[in-house]
Amino acid sequence: MSTHRNWAGNVRYAARAYHRPSSMDELRELVAGSDRIRAVGSGHSFNRLGDTTGDLVTLAGLPATVRLDEPRRLVDAPAAMRYGDLATWLHERGYAVANLASLPHISLAGAVATGTHGSGETIGNLATAVAGLELVTAAGEPLTVDRDDADFPGMVVSLGALGIVTRLTLEVVPAFDIRQYVHLDLPRAALDEALGSAYSVSVFTDWRSTRGTQVWCKQLAEQSAPPAGWLGTTAADRPWHPVPGMPAVNCTEQLGVAGPWHERLPHFRLGFTPSSGDELQSEYHLPRAVAADALAALDEVAHLTAPVSQTSELRTVAADGLWLSPNQGRDTLAVHFTWIADASAVLPVVAEVERALAPFAPRPHWGKVFTIPTEAIAATYPHWPDFATLLHRLDPTGKFRTEELNHLFPG
């Protein structure tokens, strides 16, 4: 197992064996016979929530059949499929999903299970598109759930704790085109207006000033281009990368060139290494209503974050009703940090960031680096006890548990 690490390389998986079943029967037999097992997707997680000392299984060897139900506007796809590959398949048939994350390299099941998101004031995270899912339970039996099931809101963003998800059914919409513009030096006073100005907006900052260093506006192709001097910014006259010094060729096309949704909504191209690759990441989801106060609190620790941050991204996510979604019940400002790849330097700063954000009920992204105590996280989730009950019912022996999950949900 020493050769098996996460995408960033900061986690070496502790599993005793690594499996790649080629059929559902083989997977069910493997799950039924294991005392501890977890599924691994694209490995784009920066903590040990998905690690196990038992068996680690990839679903990449299962049949990769994709089925489109046009009358119901649904697509059924394998859990291990990357969003970028599904997006290409859908676009060829005239369809899309409503939003994508900043990188298209992540697997469907992993992104959904952790509440991963894109950006947009009126758009939910990726899990909100889920209309149904199939999984293998602790007993090795198949289970299918959809929105008519009482347990459904607890089973979508599940942290991989309820079973091995094998397929997902997602809502689709007609394909659409996007134009992407980058603007420089956004005044903090214009942040709210900027975040609501396009279909999807990301604001990047280096915490060395209160101005946004870059604003990535992904607007519907029919929307008018921003005027000169938009919100006091300067229009970029060349392509940019969110991380200073990285080549912009890795990024999706900018400068207002219209193109398919799946080639503009992510920040990074499917065929290139996303972000910088040599990094750690943290992210905190805050009530949208406290954005100004929360950012002011982060300004107070900027002298700590700036030296160890490669870039930081501000995005918005619409509220939803999924029990463990970081956006459950509240419209959200998500504050993301791309750190340098030095845990000893970064972790003390993470603790200071969390201390600054504590008055604003932060919810950490489940797949990134955080140190917030369990009781503080649980207090922000009204359905935390409901998920704990569901977890104990579906996995009574703790087959899908990890050390990190045991900290979150003891017992």
Cα separation, 68 vs 90, in Å, equals: 8
Query: What is the pLDDT at residue 276?
Result: 60
Tokens, residue 275: 């972000």
Among 6, 31, 58, identify where a domain stops.
58
Q: Look at residue 12 and tell me if it is in a domain.
A: no
Q: What's the rounded Cα separation, in Å, for the pair 71 and 244?
A: 45
Domain presence at residue 42: yes
Kindly give the pairing relationship between strand 37-40 and strand 55-58: parallel
Confidence of residue 2 (pLDDT cuts 50, 70, 90): very low
Mean pLDDT of 62-71: 97
Looking at the structure, do residues 139 and 208 belong to the same domain, yes or no? no
For position 112, which CATH number holds? 3.30.465.10
Answer with the one of 40, 58, 76 that is the final residue of a domain: 58
- Asked if residue 356 belongs to a domain, the reply is yes
Closest CA to 87 of 213, 212, 259: 259
Q: How many domains does one find in the chain?
A: 3
Residues 100 and 224 both lie in one domain = no
Q: Are residues 286 and 331 in the same domain?
A: yes
pLDDT at 278 (0 to 100): 83
Same domain, 215 and 302: yes
Tell me the pTM.
0.96
For residue 25, the domain's CATH number is 3.30.43.10
Confirm whether 160 is domain-assigned.
Answer: yes
Based on the fold, state whether residues 105 and 36 are members of the same structural domain: no
Specify the pLDDT at position 11: 85
Model confidence band, residue 1 (pLDDT cutoffs 50, 70, 90): very low
Q: Tell the residue number behind the tokens 């935390």, with chain if given.
A: 384
Are residues 316 and 222 part of one domain? yes
The rounded distance, in Å, linking the Cα atoms of 84 and 379 is 35
For residue 139, tell me if it sits in a domain: yes
Q: Which regions of 152-220 does DSSP assign to beta strands (E)?
A: 164-171, 173-174, 177-186, 200-205, 212-220
80 and 43 together in one domain: no
Listed residues 132, 148, 174: the one ending a domain: 174
Residue 388 lies in a domain: no
Q: What is the pLDDT of residues 247-290, one digit of tens each?
A: 999 999 999 999 999 999 999 999 876 666 689 999 999 999 99
Name, in order, each residue with C-beta under 8 angstroms of 384's C-beta and a sequence gap of 6 or more.
323, 324, 378
Q: Are residues 135 and 73 in the same domain?
A: yes
Judgement on whether residues 49 and 194 belong to the same structural domain of the protein: no
Within this chain, do residues 46 and 77 fall inside the same structural domain, yes or no? no
371-408 pLDDT, tens per residue?
999 999 999 999 999 999 999 999 999 999 999 999 99
In a domain, 408, yes or no: no
Domain range for 320 is 177-374
Domain membership of residue 410 (yes or no) is: no
